[in-house]
Amino acid sequence: MSAIRFLAADKLASWLAEVAASRQVLAPRQEGKAVVFRPLVAGETPSLARATISPKAAVFPACETLVHFTGTKDPENPAKLNMQLDDTPDAPARMVFGCRSCDARGFAVLDKPFLEGKFQDAYYKARRDNLLVVTRTCDSPCSTCFCHWTGGGPADPTGSDVLLTAVNGGFVLEAVSEKGEAFLASTKLADGSDKMDEAKAAREKAAASQQPAPDLSKAARRLEQRFTDVDFWAEQTAKCLSCGACTYMCPTCQCFNISDEGDPLEGRRLRSWDNCMSPLFTREASGHNPRTAKALRMRNRVSHKYWYAPDYSDGRFACTGCGRCIKQCPVSLDIREIVLNAIADDAEAK
């Protein structure tokens, strides 16, 4: 039986402060009109609102130093250069608190390219190994949520270590991984088994409030059929600004760029988020760019999530249905409409 604990609502801040004594706690904080994940400040009660941006940066920072290099000349032989490299990952013990199931599933999607391929990304792995994910199950969906379209749900445990569900007087914490079991076993929280039925009822109510999901089982095949239909993609992306906000808000986008800064004697190599909607994203060293049109860039973005990824991920989409790309888009471009239009019956005929 999984570990189940109860946390009184008025004890939330003090409990998180105790956790923060041994690991960094990243929790939602209201900053202006946005809710963002930030290191918890002593005595702070985090926002329980749905965050504006995903907590992806906890394992895949927007910008990180991969290697810092320092060169010193041998005083006896100036032609000889001694080079020192520091590639130690920045990976302290962390807890992401208050993310949603769509966010936690994003970690599972990122695990595929960074951990499960022929080579593991040492920087990502170090942060992932040291990360504990406490997921706040949703009470009700918002208009842009479609997690159930992509195989998830308001209380889907994928990628999470602990599920936190609001009940009368506080929260039920349920371990859903070995890491979560060990964490809850180490806490002094009261047993919450007697409140588990209430938590399950709340989760079922949230799931029942979602509108029926369309059948996306043919999405990969229909998108493949649409691949050469440039007119279709041009029509779907006519109002797109190519600003890339959708990719930066996304919990699963994984593209990055590598750059060096400094001089031959001291500098660093950086890895920074990149986005496939950028006009320069695919420009080659020769100057040739195979995707100058935004329609072709959007084709790549949507196809990756609903066609390419399922091919190498046992049918799982590389989209968790969080809806941030819809909500934060300045022109309200809706990826749901693009996918539904792509899998419409006329695609079969083409």
CA–CA gap between residue 317 and residue 213 (Å, rounded): 15
Q: What is the largest CA-CA distance in the chain?
A: 76
Mean pLDDT confidence for 263-285: 91
Q: For strand 131-136 and strand 162-167, is the pairing parallel, antiparallel, or unpaired?
A: parallel
Domain ranges of the chain: 4-74+81-344
* Look-up of token digits 């808000």: 249
Q: What is the pLDDT of residue 312?
A: 85
Mean pLDDT confidence for 296-315: 92
CA–CA gap between residue 200 and residue 221 (Å, rounded): 36
Mean pLDDT confidence for 324-332: 95
Q: What is the pLDDT of residue 42?
A: 81
Q: How many Cα neighbours within 13 Å face the side chain of 57?
A: 17
Mean pLDDT confidence for 234-244: 94
Q: What is the pLDDT of residue 112?
A: 94
On whether the CB atoms of residues 172 and 135 are closer than 8 A, the answer is no
Mean pLDDT confidence for 15-39: 95
Buried b / exposed e over 61-90, threshold 16 CB at 10 Å, is beebbeeebeeeeeeeeeeeeeeeeeeebe
Neighbouring residues of 218: CB distance < 8 A, sequence distance ≥ 6: 343
Pick 253 or 79 by higher pLDDT: 253
Q: What is the pLDDT of residue 349?
A: 44
User: DSSP E strands: which ranges in the chain?
Assistant: 4-8, 24-31, 34-39, 63-74, 77-86, 94-99, 131-136, 162-167, 170-175, 190-191, 256-263, 266-273
Report the percent of the chain where pLDDT is more than 90: 84
pLDDT tens for 135-176 read 999 999 899 999 999 999 999 999 999 999 999 999 999 999
**Would you say residue 121 has pLDDT above 90?**
yes
Q: What is the pLDDT of residue 347?
A: 47
pLDDT tens for 41-78 read 888 889 999 999 999 999 999 999 999 999 988 888 88
Tokens of 301: 């973005």
* Look-up of token digits 């927007």: 62
pLDDT tier at 94, thresholds 50, 70, 90: very high
